[in-house]
Structure 1
């Protein structure tokens, strides 16, 4: 529960949009109870749209209850059982997610793009005996491998074509049949059950007593950019509280007649909360894509007239920079919410030329369920700010070296308190202790707050470059380079330097048809960066490495650069 000191200064409260109160009551009703209540309230309304195939709220509720009953009666799922979901965005995901919670279990999200080794760590660490997955070959073969080595004991397989509307189902069965696995021919077939079969058995789930503040709803594994992923324990209250905070911040944005686009994957914490839980619990339709493809997204917006688009900056950049994107295709959009990574000013402006939608940047982390701060969703906010702390959320900035709280405008590590903050890391007391200071969650992000309560982030502590004793923030260099017309993407890392200790190196991807050399870029940067910030090297690449959710990745660049230097004569 929230432990914020009642007399903590909150300069942001005075800047809150009209109608939003920081101290408004926070609803911690478990999410599965909320979604089933929404289904009862509007049974005939559309809950899900997947490539044109629709699911009503009544159908959603029946499937949740039937699958929850099957999990209890045929697999022994009870309070605390870990159930892994390895599913892309399809109707199967929300059904399975809410059913696991209804049965008393804990959801363990697995990225289908992970390697078997990465998945083995997650399922093994979590103790997830059951995995729900798809019969698409590329996904099923990973699940089968986990089953064969004992990292999961049972598979529940969803038949992908059954998620499609009739015509697309028939076409898929003809043209894409080779993409489907045949689990019945698997060497592990005796340990495979089928999602549709389980639903038809009509099991009714038994009631489970849930304590929202202590029982774990989701064991969400972190991205693992600094070692092996850790399992953040998110209670039912953590998940519900963040939903309630976002709901209040949205001032009705997530209620009908809105439609929310889910192109970000549900297995990622941002999409799980903002694209799925918040809208569905308010009776608002969610329109899904299984993965991001620009044409498919533009077609979806044209067809559904959806008005809310949660996105990551790389997705927004793809929309903004493509000549294929026409303003009329984005005409229905009212609000785009950027999260998951810093939003470059260049992307903000480029998107604004294509769409009249309000573009709001938010900020969060897995350990906070995830949203901590967000720009206003109904009116323009302060440029380059991640907005203000959500209702019920307290923040402070602490000097990275001394641990002392810093004043307005001074840079320090962002630390957070609020009802959305995790209970800790699973089976890792040392990591849990390291994550908190006096009850405040350490984020590892550096920034400051201005006199009006707007929050600005500078960079990650671990990405900070120390040059000749001075702090150099990669984001400062990245923003400067992104201002050049020839530059499409840039990522900056710190590398060892015999003279300065560390030095910045910039990796740049140019726009198609553009050319400039490193000397030309450095000349252009001369009046935009000081001498310490000037990159020691500018390296051009055809593509920059990304994480599995599309964020630019510094980890791979550091490894690549170090390997290159080791090979150098």
Structure 2
């Protein structure tokens, strides 16, 4: 890529000596990580699921069986296979099995409703979907409307140890969970397909730079979701970049707490691919539940715990946090939303480990920046670009590079940047220009090369002509001792165009006093940034990964306006 000198990339001088600024990425099938690790550490535990252990040898054999089962169903290289599962062994087997036979994985959120699912299946052209018996009813509704020919159904109990596997159906019945599946006519059992297939090694040769490993849907919050085309090289590069960054992690020695979902690209890269690449053990947790997470850390001693800020917030505010030993946690990368300083400091003091903020987006597999874990970091910043990753701040209108400290749009380039959007050349052209990915995030870079995200361009509030960045106001609210969670959004104001509204979840026992909060903000912010309205709520609308949905709040406000018309 040829950078002229260090002054173009001031961040390189903050790289730890252990981290190279560039690296070679092998041109291979992404699933080769699993083949390699199973060959080097066959008896090492790959997965731990609610008491059951699966070794790397067993995992690879199951993935080969799944690859051969797909081939038996007529699935060919380049065909799309949807995986609609929470974090469980079947999700890992289906993911690597699809990659081994040269298929393209379409990770699908198990929370999707039929309308969202129908759109994704039609758009991706998936012929096969792997799902749970609990989700079968939803999937069955959309099959006739899409090109899906095969539905492969599994159950949580299939990989539970005895006696949990026997008790699970009873508990499911008691909880009124529907598990009825009609097999035949294109509906097959996951376990039966594996049993009928051979474990003959099957690893498709791929053109790693061009062939897709994954279609990851994004942008549901900005209109219709788009399929991000990620190649084998994109995902291999980001897995290796993340590994270089966490250089103290040891091969075959780390235990990863896998609570971030694998169907989100952050969980897939920093948990699934990275653990398999480094022969780590993944503790699979199907859904985030604070008590279960605390008990798991206390008992199983995971060393790495990537998450979203809301997860760390719920842990540090848990009333019985002192009863649990969390000292096994050595480092955590927080992503998917900004990490409040108070949360970072509390979490580090409780665990004794490191919690750093990183930044990424689905279009970059996803990580592009992170703070140093053990060396210099700057609180409030997203850190510095990863190895082989370049970043700059440009004028969103002209594309011209901004000076140090000036606010503009963050653009990035590197081997982890997507090939484009699936079947959407116009959308691709808007965001990929000359190899640079335009992120849509407003940011600035300081003189040392540390980057600071201010907000999504579309989240910026413009009140009486002033630009207001929600994150800055949120940081001030988080400093208030009564605040558990806070989010700030722009609402329509006939006089100012937009005005600032704060939505606050209080800590137990705290009182919501809007005047007191206003006074708190006035002492710390310019008058035009101070929220004019305060709404105290029990909870905030969130995505599966714990990102607060600002647009939902905006929609609620629009509804109110209509009613009060």
* Structure 1 position 477, deviation (Å): 1.0
1:87 corresponds to which residue? 85
The alignment partner of 2:417 has SS state of coil
Number of residue pairs matched? 561
The alignment partner of 1:308 has SS state of coil
1:524 corresponds to which residue? 520
The alignment partner of 2:524 has SS state of coil
Partners of 1:67 and 1:6 in 2: how far apart?
Answer: 48
**Contact preservation (8 Å) 2:265, 2:365:** yes
**Contact preservation (8 Å) 2:25, 2:233:** no
Q: Deviations over 1:60-85 (max 9, x none)?
A: 0110111101101x222222100000
2:129 corresponds to which residue? 131
Distance 1:167 1:337, change over 3 A: same
**Contact preservation (8 Å) 1:254, 1:278:** no
The alignment partner of 1:310 has SS state of coil
* Structure 1 position 458, deviation (Å): 1.1
2:164 corresponds to which residue? 168
* Structure 1 position 192, deviation (Å): 0.5
Distance 1:196 1:493, change over 3 A: same
* Structure 1 position 545, deviation (Å): 1.0
The alignment partner of 1:156 has SS state of strand
Which residue of 448, 460, 471 maps to 1:464?
460
Which residue of 197, 208, 216 maps to 1:202?
197
TM-score, with normalisation over the residues of structure 1?
0.95
**Contact preservation (8 Å) 2:502, 2:531:** yes
Distance 1:327 1:396, change over 3 A: farther
Partners of 1:42 and 1:82 in 2: how far apart?
Answer: 30
The CA RMSD measured in Å over matched residues stands at 1.7
The alignment partner of 1:309 has SS state of coil
**Contact preservation (8 Å) 2:328, 2:351:** no
2:188 corresponds to which residue? 193
**Contact preservation (8 Å) 1:64, 1:98:** yes
Q: Deviations over 1:363-391 (max 9, x none)?
A: 10000001101112234622112111110
The alignment partner of 1:12 has SS state of helix
* Structure 1 position 330, deviation (Å): 0.6
Partners of 2:435 and 2:359 in 1: how far apart?
Answer: 20
**Contact preservation (8 Å) 2:252, 2:280:** yes
Partners of 1:545 and 1:257 in 2: how far apart?
Answer: 37
The alignment partner of 1:443 has SS state of strand
Indicate whether 1:411 and 2:410 are aligned.
no
2:112 corresponds to which residue? 114
2:47 corresponds to which residue? 48
Indicate whether 1:329 and 2:328 are aligned.
no
* Structure 1 position 327, deviation (Å): 6.8
1:294 corresponds to which residue? 290
Partners of 1:152 and 1:99 in 2: how far apart?
Answer: 18
* Structure 1 position 207, deviation (Å): 4.9
Indicate whether 1:497 and 2:493 are aligned.
yes
* Structure 1 position 254, deviation (Å): 5.6
**Contact preservation (8 Å) 2:118, 2:145:** no
**Contact preservation (8 Å) 1:364, 1:370:** yes
1:36 corresponds to which residue? 35
Which residue of 438, 441, 454 maps to 2:434?
438
Partners of 2:425 and 2:321 in 1: how far apart?
Answer: 49
Q: Deviations over 1:514-558 (max 9, x none)?
A: 003211111111111111111121122222111232111101000
The alignment partner of 1:183 has SS state of coil
Indicate whether 1:272 and 2:271 are aligned.
no
* Structure 1 position 180, deviation (Å): 4.9
1:362 corresponds to which residue? 358
Structure 1 unaligned residues grouped into runs of 5+: none
* Structure 1 position 19, deviation (Å): 1.4
**Contact preservation (8 Å) 1:4, 1:417:** no
The alignment partner of 1:292 has SS state of coil
Partners of 1:15 and 1:327 in 2: how far apart?
Answer: 38
Q: Which shifted more, 340-349 or 251-260?
A: 251-260
Which residue of 439, 443, 446 maps to 1:447?
443
* Structure 1 position 482, deviation (Å): 1.4
**Contact preservation (8 Å) 1:506, 1:535:** yes
Q: Which shifted more, 332-341 or 504-513?
A: 504-513
**Contact preservation (8 Å) 1:129, 1:154:** yes
* Structure 1 position 162, deviation (Å): 1.4
1:13 corresponds to which residue? 12
Indicate whether 1:145 and 2:144 are aligned.
no
Structure 2 unaligned residues grouped into runs of 5+: none
Partners of 2:442 and 2:554 in 1: how far apart?
Answer: 21
**Contact preservation (8 Å) 2:44, 2:56:** yes
Indicate whether 1:96 and 2:116 are aligned.
no
Partners of 1:128 and 1:83 in 2: how far apart?
Answer: 6
**Contact preservation (8 Å) 1:45, 1:57:** yes
Indicate whether 1:508 and 2:507 are aligned.
no
* Structure 1 position 324, deviation (Å): 1.7
Partners of 2:2 and 2:555 in 1: how far apart?
Answer: 40
Which residue of 152, 157, 161 maps to 2:153?
157
Indicate whether 1:231 and 2:227 are aligned.
yes
Which residue of 360, 368, 371 maps to 2:367?
371
